[in-house]
Structure 1
Amino acid sequence: MTARPVLDFHVRLAPRPGAGERLLSAMDDSGLDRAVVCAGGTIDLDRLARQLVEGGHVETDADNDTVLKTCADTDGRLVPFFFANPHRPSDEYRSRAAEFRGLEISPAVHGIGLADPRVEELVGVAAEFGHPVYVVCLSRPGAGVADLVGVARRFPQVNFVLGHSGIGNIDFHALTLIRDEPNIVLETSGGYTCVAEAAVSRLGAGRVVFGSEYPLQHPAVELAKFQVLRLPPEQWRQIAWDNAHRLLGEEQQ
């Protein structure tokens, strides 16, 4: 098992009975100390898979209430992020931002491009509250990694997290696009081991964070990706722990 401590920067919590207990059990089994939690279950997986290929969107609200309630009883072990619906006014996020630690925006789910004024309003609220912004990009006009770079340049005070190793599992091009953007870090779930290795080499260990995308991927699988890389302990510490705490505005622990 990869050395502890580990903060998983991306897990999901669906609004189903026992989901919180199952998450904590999986974390215990995998040796995860903490996790950033975003709402899951916003869209049926079959529909999501079709949207990824054909386009489309839903206007469904994520269950941020369940995320907040589940995280509240864990003494900081679970860290809640607000999954925004850009089809709603940004005031909803602003009114609750103090309860959460970060923001997620997903064109894959809600279908709104990253340069859309509604998305930029949400990022503006994140800037007010010092929240990092987790983004899932797509190979689609307005939702690509280059579009994320554009937003990051307009909001240099905001830290962005590019989810799932970019687009697909071998997105070396994403590494090139974000290389000179210091306020974008890469979260590594989904990508091949070669992409994780290249991210550490090209971006530096200080701009990479570990994530699993639990429950769609078991944390042990993503941990194994780094275990075979045999990174120096100081680099793994950055990726697994220090960088995440910096993004959350916490002192390194």
Structure 2
Amino acid sequence: MIIDCHCHAGPGDGLSGPWDSDAGLGRYLRRAQEAGIARTVLLATFHSDYAEANSAVSRLVSTRPGQFYGFAFVHTRRDRGRIADLVRTAVEQYGFTGIKVHRHDARISGEVCAAARYFGVPVLYDPVGEVAVAELLAAQYPDVNFILPHLGSFADDWAAQLALIDHLVRHKNIYTDTSAVRRFDLLEQAVQRAGAHKVLFGTDGPWLHPGLELEKVKLLGLSEADERLVLGENLLRLMGR
């Protein structure tokens, strides 16, 4: 079973680009079905009120509970003091299975990590190239699992992505996803050095083509068992499923 660990959906209210505008799933779902992707983790787009955005994502998840998982998006600075409440609502009322934080909003915080520890869910944190934070996360929160997507940088940041591979190798609770990684050799190196158990398949949909992102994993030439890990089993393990 193929699971996409990283797809945005729902309303956005910034209107500066697709990343903070409404993200429909129509084209994504058609393409995902054609590619054989069975399940998807849904995350909000950038939004001025993540309580509202997460609620909208929960409604999408409820339409296809066997197909969608939800992660709660939080803003560490703007939501300071209420992050545990936001995550509690997402986990206990919506059935969400993870937390999403983006450096574009603000850096990850201890408050987020404490909430992840308490509720037993992973954190998908995009550090926007600031991958040295993995060292701190691994040392201070060894019982929390962190997924740093795009091999640490959505941009074509060779140095950051290479550095993240070292963190994947050294820290048992640091993971990455395959979405938007342009340098195939680095993706291949991540699997070879850190192991297939440290890499998750993601697309950063609906903006990137899920079939194209999946083909990168297929081209890695993994064993059947390792490919199953990347394409879904790693995510299910981190979510406790």
- Shared fold by TM > 0.5? yes
Query: Which residue is equivalent to 2:195?
Result: 204
1:151 Cα deviation after fit: 1.9
Q: Deviations over 1:182-238 (max 9, x none)?
A: 001111111121122111101101111000001121111111212222222111111
Give, as a single letter, the amino acid of the residue that structure 2 aligns with 1:199.
A
Q: Which residue in 2 is equivalent to 1:228?
A: 219
- Residue deviations 1:14-57 (CA, integer Å, cap 9, x gap): 32889244443232122101111101153xxxxxxxxxxxxxxx
1:93 and 2:81 matched: no
What amino acid maps onto 2:6 in structure 1? H
Q: Which deviations, in whole Å up to 9, do the C-alpha atoms of 1:30-86 show, x marking residues without a partner?
A: 2101111101153xxxxxxxxxxxxxxxxx223111111101121331100000122
Tell me, in whole angstroms, the C-alpha distance in 1 between the residues paired with 2:205 and 2:59: 18
**Size of the alignment, in residue pairs?**
219
- Structure 2 CA distance for aligned equivalents of residues 228 and 200 of structure 1: 12
Change (3 A) 1:120 1:220: same
Q: Distance in 2 between matches of 1:121 and 1:17?
A: 28
| Other-structure match for 1:50 | none
Does 199-208 or 222-231 show the bigger shift? 222-231
Match of 1:146 among 132, 136, 140: 132
Residue 173 of structure 1 is aligned with which of 163, 166, 173?
A: 163
Separation in 1 of the partners of 2:75 and 2:49? 6
Structure 2: runs of 5 or more not aligned: 12-20
Contact 1:13 1:41 in 2 (8 A): no
Measured in 2, the distance between the counterparts of 1:151 and 1:177 equals 11
Partner Cα separation in structure 2 for residue 72 and residue 152 of structure 1 = 33
Query: 1:38 aligns to what?
Result: 43
Give the match for residue 113 of structure 2. Answer: 123
**Structure 2 vs 1, CA of residues 84 and 204 (structure 1 numbering), >3 Å: closer, same or farther?**
same
Q: 2:123 aligns with which of 130, 133, 138?
A: 133
2:102 equivalent in structure 1? 106
Classify the secondary structure of the residue corresponding to 1:121.
helix
Runs of 4+ in 1 over 3 A off after TM superposition: 20-23
Q: Do structure 1's residue 65 and structure 2's residue 70 form an aligned pair? A: no
Corresponding letter in the other structure for 1:73: T
Match of 1:46 in 2: none
How many angstroms apart in 2 are the aligned matches of 1:18 and 1:204? 33
Question: Counterpart in 2 of 1:161?
Answer: 147
Q: Which moved more, 1:7-16 or 1:236-245?
A: 7-16
Which residue is equivalent to 1:74?
A: 64
Higher mean C-alpha deviation, range 165-174 or range 154-163: 165-174
Aligned counterparts of 2:46 and 2:163: Cα–Cα separation in 1: 30
CA apart distance, 1:174: 1.2
- TM-score normalised per structure 2: 0.84
1:19 to 11, 24, 30: 24
Taking structure 1 as the reference length, the TM-score comes to 0.81
Among the aligned pairs, what percent are the same residue? 27
The root-mean-square deviation of aligned C-alpha atoms, in Å, is: 1.8
Whole-angstrom CA distance in 1 between matches of 2:135 and 2:29: 34
